[in-house]
Chains A and B, each alone.
Chain A
């Protein structure tokens, strides 16, 4: 019972870390890692909530999140490779092709 606030606080901290990472890092690799941290923050929150209410839904959502993040990571890594080849860098600010 007492673990729930701690877990949620941890999840919130992870979320903040993840968002800060996405916003602050320009290297796509680190942004991807930050996104994974964000996923884990969400997943942790689900686990905590599931444990709190003694329901299996949280674990189901956890499994879903894990698989989604795995798929996401695969696609993102593939994109990263393409971007690296195309722009010669992983700096996301340089990878801009939209024009005014």
Chain B
């Protein structure tokens, strides 16, 4: 690649960051149009640059490394501000800038007329910049900078509508729960850096694989610590409960941050640092099972949600569980491919849901939406395409190929129980999204359309439908052409995916899962609605669905064992009990003063009596 162009890598994250700076400093003096132009323009330019780099990488597969400056050098700890563009970070950068640009464009329409338009775009730009730093970082400490940066932006954007205290609570919950995961992550970084004395990712991986042996205490501890960070960021068990609440933010934010990009950072982290995890097979197995558990629990919760965004939020947890499952069996490429495809279809689902609910006056309750096929065709078809991909409709959707790849990899590694969990998850996924679509978009119209949406919001939907349905062509199973574009791209970084698919009846079952899910749901909701109504009214179902509705009671548990005790502790300590000895000392001297001062009472005759008595006592002592 051209040397001069290669030197421009820094512009990829710098452009959105610069946009954020500009909007942050001068945003209030700019009108809405200019804000949108700066925001979309900076991300768009960044996307164009990524395309340029991507096409070059496609041709020669030479990773780009650009060291901007040495961050600092404190006695041998020398992290660098250095960017690396290889297959893995390229994929992430494409998603971030591509989907990011579309969502910026969408936001310019969605947020029109909102108070704080410039503030919104400043933070959204800051997010894109930080996310790009995260994925492009060549240095683990720089990666952590991006990691915390996106967390901050997520916090700010969830709480964007700050007047409602509930939004602020949701934002704080997201921040604190991901920070709870970051605490072990930081300890892991400390362990890693103090052990090896370097911070660059390639050097760390090299030294770790060279000096550590499988399944010893150190790699296992480290993998567990890093995993905790990934679990927090990617909303996996047991730190998943912040994500449904994060839906308090504007819908484009949910689409970008809480579906397409930030929440996948955990998956990216594990993929990027996979040599470390390979050294701890036990932890890998844990990852797989955490993923499977998250996949199933969240899918069941999604089945009973009534808020369309919460359905999608649980769906995101569930799909991230899929990715974790793939990571856990060592199918790195499959996990990344699902991440890639998921970014498109989940963004599409969110954006379509956003269009629908915006035009219905911010109505998010599925039961009050309905009848949108003719009234809001953009949202309808967009959501339909996204649902098809999420449900993994065989062969016509990208989601099918990515999900099938994961199941095939699990199958090939002979993890029967895990495969079954994945299969069940696929079935449930199809079921809940069919339910959401049937209730929310078909049927009778319940709410009047109060606001027309415009091209700025429709165009991103139209563009996103293409990869949602067709991104599968990058990685096709043997039976369907066997293209390996995606694996080839990430091959220098990640070990290639297995060549053979399921083979035999495994493949048949995998195809069957989504069809079964869709069919059953359709049957229950459209053909035999009485059955589902009868089920819903039974007491057991009520209790069960309430339990699932509240995410299996994790929130209540954390509320009881963590948040409330901490608040109580802080309230009890707020007077600073350690001050008591000192105030006690003060009170003591005051009391002593009081005691002694009572002898100095100005009563001359008492003084005289005291003198006389004192003299008598002294004499009695002196005289033999």
Encoded as 1 (CB less than 8 Å from any A CB) or 0, chain B from 566 to 592 comes to 000000000000000000000000000
Any A CB within 8 A of the CB of B597: yes
Could you jot down 23 A-B contacts, CB within 8 Å? A19-B608, A19-B612, A22-B605, A23-B605, A23-B608, A23-B609, A23-B612, A26-B605, A31-B604, A31-B605, A92-B603, A92-B604, A92-B605, A93-B603, A93-B605, A95-B604, A96-B601, A96-B603, A97-B602, A98-B600, A98-B601, A98-B602, A100-B598
Residues in B whose Cβ lies below 8 Å from that of A100: 594, 597-598, 601
A-B contact count (CB 8 A): 29
Residues in B whose Cβ lies below 8 Å from that of A93: 603, 605
CB pair B605–A96 under 8 Å, yes or no, is: no
Complex Cα gap A22–B606 (Å): 10
Encoded as 1 (CB less than 8 Å from any B CB) or 0, chain A from 3 to 39 comes to 0000000000000000100110010000100000000
Contact residues on B (Cβ < 8 Å of other chain), bracket: 10 to 19
Q: Which residue of B lies closest to A22 (CB)?
A: B608
CB interface residues, B 473-507, toward A, < 8 Å = none
Q: Which residue of B lies closest to A93 (CB)?
A: B603
Residues in B whose Cβ lies below 8 Å from that of A95: 604
New A-B pairs, 6, CB < 8 Å, besides A23-B609, A92-B603: A23-B612, A93-B605, A96-B601, A97-B602, A100-B598, A100-B601
Q: Which residue of A lies closest to B594 (CB)?
A: A100
B contact set with A: CB distance below 8 Å: 594, 597-598, 600-605, 608-609, 612
Contact residues on A (Cβ < 8 Å of other chain), bracket: 10 to 19
Residues in A whose Cβ lies below 8 Å from that of B604: 31, 92, 95
Complex Cα gap A23–B608 (Å): 7
Residues in A whose Cβ lies below 8 Å from that of B600: 98
Residues in B whose Cβ lies below 8 Å from that of A22: 605, 608, 612
The 6 closest A-B pairs by CB, nearest first: A98-B602, A96-B602, A22-B608, A92-B604, A19-B612, A23-B609
Complex Cα gap A66–B609 (Å): 24
Complex Cα gap A2–B609 (Å): 33
Residues in A whose Cβ lies below 8 Å from that of B594: 100
B610–chain A nearest beta-carbon distance, Å: 10
Q: Which residue of A lies closest to B597 (CB)?
A: A100
Complex Cα gap A100–B600 (Å): 9
A5–chain B nearest beta-carbon distance, Å: 17
Residues in A whose Cβ lies below 8 Å from that of B605: 22-23, 26, 31, 92-93
Q: Which residue of B lies closest to A19 (CB)?
A: B612
B613–chain A nearest beta-carbon distance, Å: 10
Query: Which of B597, B602, B603, B609 is most buried by chain A, counting CB atoms within 10 A of its CB?
Result: B602
Complex Cα gap A97–B601 (Å): 9
Complex Cα gap A63–B62 (Å): 119
B216–chain A nearest beta-carbon distance, Å: 74
Complex Cα gap A92–B594 (Å): 24
Residues in A whose Cβ lies below 8 Å from that of B603: 92-93, 96
Complex Cα gap A87–B608 (Å): 21
Complex Cα gap A97–B602 (Å): 7
Query: Which of B598, B601, B603, B604 is most buried by chain A, counting CB atoms within 10 A of its CB?
Result: B604
A39–chain B nearest beta-carbon distance, Å: 14
Complex Cα gap A75–B232 (Å): 88
Residues in A whose Cβ lies below 8 Å from that of B598: 100
Q: Which residue of A lies closest to B615 (CB)?
A: A19
Residues in B whose Cβ lies below 8 Å from that of A23: 605, 608-609, 612
Complex Cα gap A31–B612 (Å): 14
Complex Cα gap A35–B601 (Å): 21
Residues in A whose Cβ lies below 8 Å from that of B609: 23
